[in-house]
Chains A and B, each alone.
Chain A
Amino acid sequence: MSQHSHQPDLPLQIAQDLRALGGVQAPSELWQRVQDERGFTELGGATAPEELWARVQAELGTEDVAPERRLLRFHFGRKSLAAAAALLIFGGLSIFNPWSIQPGPGQDVVVLAPQTSESVRAAFRARAQFQKVTPQEMSSISRGLAGSLGGLMVENDA
């Protein structure tokens, strides 16, 4: 799992144990399950699904995950689980893209992107060199995208 410096509510031991999982990928349904659990009085009484441990074992390629499992079981009480869930939801863990989950018909389960610090935003912007050009220099695909949002290249109409 990715390491993050800002974990305000997560006990140190939990944080260390999470880090000890190394490059383990969270099962894809983890988020959905956490969401389901959140529905019960803000994570009150939530527990990790049993089958997740088998998935984690498979990811690790070893059966020696019992200590972490036990530890997580004992320590993932209401407060800790809420903190861990908050970490997953708002901490920016890159194990998955939460906003890539799409609600199906009749569903309204969406994951809203968290606030991002200005320093991180600036770092993203610094990855590319942006050059302002005239609308006429943009491609037809850009024009099409803009047009579908209402930017009908009115300059062209002048």
Chain B
Amino acid sequence: MMRPLFPLNLVVSSLLLMACGPANQSAVPGGNLALSSGSSGTQAVSGTGPQVIVVPEFQYPENVAIELERVIHVRNSSGILERTQEMLLADGLGNIRLDVIGFSPDQAQAFTAPSSVLQMNYLNQMRFMVKYRDPHLRAHEGLRRNFTWTEDAVPVQVAGVSCIRYTAKSLNRYGDLEFLADAQTNLLLSWTQFDASGAIRMKMEATSVNLSPSLGGVTWSAPMVSEQAFSGQDDIAALGFKPMEPEYLPAGFYQEEAWLRFSGSSVPGISNMLVKIYSDGIHLVFVAQTDQTTQSPGIQFANRVTDVFESDLGGIRVAEGSIGKRRLYVASLLSMEEIETIFGSIYPH
């Protein structure tokens, strides 16, 4: 069922849009790439079997000048793989735009025009989706110790490009991944995330690649509120409250990023938000917290634990609840049990 879009949603979404900053620093200057071949479809060609490797390196589409049409498959809370058709535009200099151009509620029905709600979601979330929804290889230590990597020399065609298949087996059983990257440039053109049982959780397939896009007149995604990296003790005054820390992280996870998003000065009633992002090298966990006294001035908050709401939001498990004046949020593709364990570990004894 549709829920009315409140201005608050937009504000909150804009807060979340801030983490994307400039795209990956490994971007190719000028963002120019040349594809290794061209036609359409996805099929194996020839070669030998998979070999164990250390950790591969990819070129991410948002880091090159590109017009990339792709299909995203997402398993929703009902277990159905829904599909969205996307267009990613990037200039290779840090500017990106991601639009939804089609939607199908399953794997069989044809794409239809997306609803205004879905378009609005993309408008608000595009920078985050590119940076956090799309898998990226993060800290090498996590990639090396948490995954077993293999490379299959059998080339596979993706959107007419000859690609190499890489697999990452999660040693902690958070779900394996498969990547297909251009054999010549390592440009990532397809990825699949599996759950612990081996079922597809989310998948991206490029369907059309244009590395000489016409980008005139494109309105690039832009952050709407200010933010800064949260460095810890020195930034607590800026945050406005002392953050709480999880005592537990899933095995192999580490803190990848911490962001302080300012809203108090520009949006009355909305607290600054601290978002910490934890990773095992690929999978992510968000832990966010705000100060409720800013959001609800005048209300007296008991210093106690209240019930925690949890739900599956389009395949992402989220829990939210309060401890006194703090509002906590934990979100991830990981299991709800992991979410609950992380959440509980933040609570006082």
Binding site for B on A (CB under 8 A): 94, 97, 99-103, 105, 108-116, 120-121, 123-158
Contact = CB atoms under 8 A, between A and B. Distances in A.
Q: Chain B at the A interface: mostly helix, strand, loop or mixed?
A: mixed
Interface string B99-116: 000010100000000110
A145 B344 contact: no
Contacts of B308: 128-131
Given A110-B254, A113-B252, A124-B344, A150 B311 contact: no
Interface in B113-129: 114-115, 117-118, 121-122, 124-125, 128-129
Given A135-B312, A142-B309, 4 more contacts: A99-B249, A124-B247, A151-B314, A154-B82
B235 interface: no
A126 B228 CA distance: 34
A125 B341 contact: yes
Contacts of B118: 152, 154, 156-157
B150 interface: no
B320 interface: yes
A115 to B, nearest CB: 5
B333 to A, nearest CB: 6
6 contacts: A99-B254, A100-B232, A137-B311, A145-B275, A152-B122, A157-B118
B311 A128 contact: no
A149 B249 contact: no
A138 B248 contact: no
Interface stretch (B34-42, B46-54, B69-77, B158-166): B69-77
A147 B288 CA distance: 14
Interface residues of B, number: 93
Given A103-B139, A144-B13, A157 B310 contact: no
A100 B255 contact: yes
Question: Which of A111, A113, A134 has the most chain B CB atoms closer than 10 A to its own CB?
Answer: A113
Nearest to B230: A102
Contacts of A125: 337, 340-341, 344
B331 A145 contact: yes
Contacts of A149: 128, 132-133, 284, 286, 316, 331-333
B310 A146 contact: no
B139 A110 contact: yes
Contacts, number: 238
A152 to B, nearest CB: 5
Interface of B: 1-3, 6, 8-9, 12-13, 15-17, 19, 25, 72, 74, 76-77, 82, 84, 103, 105, 114-115, 117-118, 121-122, 124-125, 128-129, 132-133, 139-142, 145-146, 202, 232, 245-258, 273, 275, 278, 280, 284, 286, 288, 290, 305, 307-316, 318-321, 327, 329, 331-333, 337, 340-345, 347-349
Contacts of A143: 9, 12, 313
Contact of B1 (A102, A111, A136, A152): A136
Contact of A145 (B8, B252, B253, B286): B286
A135 B288 contact: no
Contacts of A123: 344
Nearest to B319: A130
Contacts of B273: 141
